[in-house]
Amino acid sequence: MTAPDRAVRAYLDHLAVERGMSGHTVAAYRRDLNRYLEHLAEAGVSDVDQVTTEQVASFAVRLSQGSPARAEQPARPPLAASSVARAVVAVRSLHKFLLAEGDTGADPAAQVQPPSQAKRLPKAIGVEQVQAILDVPDTTTPAGLRDALLLELLYGTGARISELCSLDVDDVSGLLDDPDQEQGLRLIGKGDKERIVPVGSFARSAIAAWLTRGRPVLADKARTATPALLLNSRGARLSRQSAWNILTAAAETAGVPHLSPHTLRHSFATHMLDGGADVRVVQELLGHASVTTTQLYTLVTVDRLREAYLVAHPRAR
């Protein structure tokens, strides 16, 4: 194992153990840094102190332009600007860590900036399309009751799929004992940031139906008891991938293909703003650290207003 390999392993251990990053995040860093190690190896770098700013910059260029097939490596297609930016951030973080640990005397990546990315507007679907998706589950079956609850919570609260899959029964049981609907749902988002979101009557009804008529049936199939709210067909906690499959299957049945995992979340935010909600309120409901992220949704609603104006106003054209 070379010195750069050992440096990357130490950094990944730091992310997982000391910073407590999720396995998914650490795996993403590992993929990007493995590409970086290949780049350094081809440049003949055997020690982290040998890395230059030019080599870090050329790594970013290589990812952006792709690389042809070599002796034992297939051709690599160019990466999107967002993927290049993520990889550059990983490399910058690695060298910053090595400098702080005293493993290097300089930071060759400090002056290398991630490529700027085009501002992408979140994709949302219409209320009618959302309703069509929510109408898909067969609520006469335990699995259908679970699917109905998952979809209702995704759209009704703006939660991420991973946040809902991590919920336990105790997280929602108090909602059913709150006739005035003053109690909200506690979600744990990115960076273990906690937020409380309101839960409407449709979601509450879906929770009650699942807990009384659906979950007990699937829970009986489990080898060991689990506190998880959402269960798979074997009675274990529903995984994020399985939840995503439920959403995509419902969307295809409803005639709404090509959804992203966040489509209902984006639709929640867009429909809230269309209905007159303040952007700061939507920021809190989504758990965005910065209002700048939430303000992307306001661009979507402005586009809709412009389209409506062009269609409806006699002097718009």
193 assigned to active site: no
Q: 257 with 143, same domain?
A: yes
Of residues 92, 95, 146, 262, which has the active-site annotation?
262
Residue 176 resides in a domain: yes
Q: 140 with 227, same domain?
A: yes
Residue 289 resides in a domain: no
**pLDDT tens digits, 61-115:** 888 888 776 666 677 788 888 888 899 999 999 999 999 999 888 999 999 888 7
Residue 32 resides in a domain: yes
Q: 164 with 255, same domain?
A: yes
Q: 146 falls in which pLDDT band (50, 70, 90)?
A: very high
Could you give the number of structural domains in the chain? Answer: 2
265 assigned to active site: yes
Q: 132 with 242, same domain?
A: yes
- What token pair was written down for 109? 């990546």
d(CA 29, CA 190): 16
Residue 296 resides in a domain: no
Of residues 95, 195, 271, 288, which has the active-site annotation?
288
Residue 316 resides in a domain: no
- Examine the pLDDT at 303 and tell me if it is beyond 70: no
Q: 134 falls in which pLDDT band (50, 70, 90)?
A: very high
Proportion of the chain above pLDDT 70, given as a percent: 90
Q: 195 with 234, same domain?
A: yes
Of residues 190, 193, 221, 280, which has the active-site annotation?
190
Q: What is the mean pLDDT of residues 256-285?
A: 87
CATH code of 67's domain: 1.10.150
Residue in the block written with tokens 């490596």 = 73
Domain span including residue 216:
127-261
Of residues 92, 160, 204, 266, which has the active-site annotation?
160
**pLDDT tens digits, 2-59:** 888 999 999 999 999 988 888 888 999 999 999 999 999 888 888 988 999 999 999 8
262 assigned to active site: yes
Proportion of the chain above pLDDT 90, given as a percent: 49
d(CA 230, CA 243): 9
d(CA 12, CA 31): 11
Please give the C-alpha separations between residue 281 and each of 198, 202, 258, 275, 288, in angstroms, as whole numbers. Answer: 12, 21, 29, 12, 11
160 assigned to active site: yes
For all residues of the chain together, what is the average pLDDT? Answer: 87
Q: 157 with 244, same domain?
A: yes
Long-range contacts of residues 297-304, Cβ cutoff 8 Å, at least 24 apart:
297/122, 297/124, 297/266, 297/269, 297/270, 297/273, 298/273, 299/121, 300/121, 300/122, 300/124, 300/270, 300/273, 301/270, 301/273, 301/274, 303/121, 304/274
Tell me if 288 sits within 8 A of 294, measured CB to CB: yes
Q: 142 with 48, same domain?
A: no
d(CA 63, CA 292): 28
CA R_g for the chain: 24
Q: Which of 246, 261, 276 is the last residue of a domain?
A: 261
Q: Which of 84, 100, 116 is the last residue of a domain?
A: 100
Q: 229 with 139, same domain?
A: yes
Q: 47 with 158, same domain?
A: no
Q: Which of 53, 83, 100 is the last residue of a domain?
A: 100
What pLDDT is stored for residue 166 in this prediction?
95
- Examine the pLDDT at 118 and tell me if it is beyond 80: no
What pLDDT is stored for residue 115 in this prediction?
79
d(CA 18, CA 6): 17
Planar angle of CA 77, 78, 83, nearest 5 degrees? 120
What pLDDT is stored for residue 173 in this prediction?
85
Q: 88 with 158, same domain?
A: no
d(CA 34, CA 236): 34
Residue 111 resides in a domain: no
24 assigned to active site: no
32: left (phi > 0), else alpha (psi -120 to 50), else beta?
A: alpha
CATH code of 198's domain: 1.10.443.10
**pLDDT tens digits, 204-220:** 999 999 999 999 999 99
Other CB atoms within 10 Å distance of the CB of residue 76: 16
Residue 305 resides in a domain: no
What pLDDT is stored for residue 148 in this prediction?
97
Residue 13 resides in a domain: yes
Of residues 35, 62, 265, 266, which has the active-site annotation?
265
d(CA 261, CA 160): 8
Q: 169 with 250, same domain?
A: yes
